[in-house]
Structure 1
């Protein structure tokens, strides 16, 4: 395969992984529906920072170790699934006036936490680096360049989910409970698919 074809494959892989539903995209959509674009964008800044943190951690791991220890991946998967389930619960839990946890607005910190526990992003980065970049070069600059580009594609796709939420907001106002239930179920399904491989082994 030529370099151009490999890079096109990498970009397409990152786009498909970035645009498909996952914890960050579903959370961004739900945040926009519930709080509006302004607060969703505040959370999005944390998603960007988290994506870059995971991307560069993946570059470091691939460059120094070559592969992630399976035990680390299992713990990260369980932590990520637990956080995604907590997000799902907060979407459908009855509002409790006076409790800061239930009144908390989305922040960059909550976006960052979501992204660094998002196993989908870790798998995306490691797979992209090992499948598309390493066959061309194992030079640190090549890995770092990929580490810079992958988040750009991913957070661009996430931004599309935020704007989709903005377009669907009036529908959400009329059907809030059903939409919250569907979004919570989708997040729970994400969590289940995250831990399913651990249960099968």
Structure 2
């Protein structure tokens, strides 16, 4: 079964990634601040469906590949670490724009909100690389069923992402107003998340 350390590692990676600005966060915040919490929650349901698509597709394929080529995990570990370092740089570099900045967007129907949430997640390179290069690093071939481990760890990531995104959707309006008046808090958030991602990358590279 999955080690506790692997679960903790996925939780930390998932937190670092979901709290760093990206397509999912920008879409959810823009809908929540312009069209209300209900629109944000419907959009989040679409994002959740996208996570499930990646979870099933990635694990069904990876289970076969890793069983045939165990050494591939080493290559993926290095690739995942490099990606986390790149994401840390994108978070820390100067000139970034707050995802909570006010945006004017036209209202959409519930169906379109769901589909846009789904497509935003499916086309999000962060999520694709997460399932292909990062989560597989926490799979231990000596602990049994690779497919089961991948699904469990994927579900952990989905749970963390949805809980955090739901909190952001619910509080988007208040957060936007708070950060608009306190730009130093935005810099602190970026510094904290970027540093966390960099530390995780270094830890994974040398594990």
TM-score, structure 2 as length reference? 0.58
Q: Which among 60, 63, 66 is matched to residue 62 of structure 1? A: 66
The question of whether the paired residues in 2 share the 8 Å contact of 1:129 and 1:143 is answered with yes
Q: Which among 116, 130, 135 is matched to residue 118 of structure 1? A: 130
Moved over 6 A (4+): none
Residue 18 of structure 2 is aligned to residue 24 of structure 1: yes
The question of whether the paired residues in 1 share the 8 Å contact of 2:27 and 2:117 is answered with no
Report the count of equivalent residues.
175
The question of whether the paired residues in 1 share the 8 Å contact of 2:76 and 2:133 is answered with no
Structure 2: where are the runs of 5+ without partners?
33-39, 104-112
Residue 43 of structure 2 is aligned to residue 39 of structure 1: yes
- Separation in 2, partners of 1:69, 1:146: 14
The CA deviation at 1:66 is: 1.4
TM-score, structure 1 as length reference? 0.59
Find the counterpart in structure 2 of residue 157 from structure 1: 160
- Separation in 2, partners of 1:181, 1:62: 40
Structure 1: where are the runs of 5+ without partners?
1-6, 98-104
- Separation in 2, partners of 1:126, 1:190: 17
- Separation in 1, partners of 2:205, 2:162: 33
The CA deviation at 1:191 is: 4.3
CA 1:154/1:11 → structure 2, altered by over 3 Å: closer, same or farther?
A: farther
Find the counterpart in structure 2 of residue 166 from structure 1: 169
- Separation in 1, partners of 2:127, 2:74: 20
SS of structure 1 residue aligned to 2:72: coil
SS of structure 2 residue aligned to 1:146: helix
CA 1:43/1:189 → structure 2, altered by over 3 Å: closer, same or farther?
A: farther
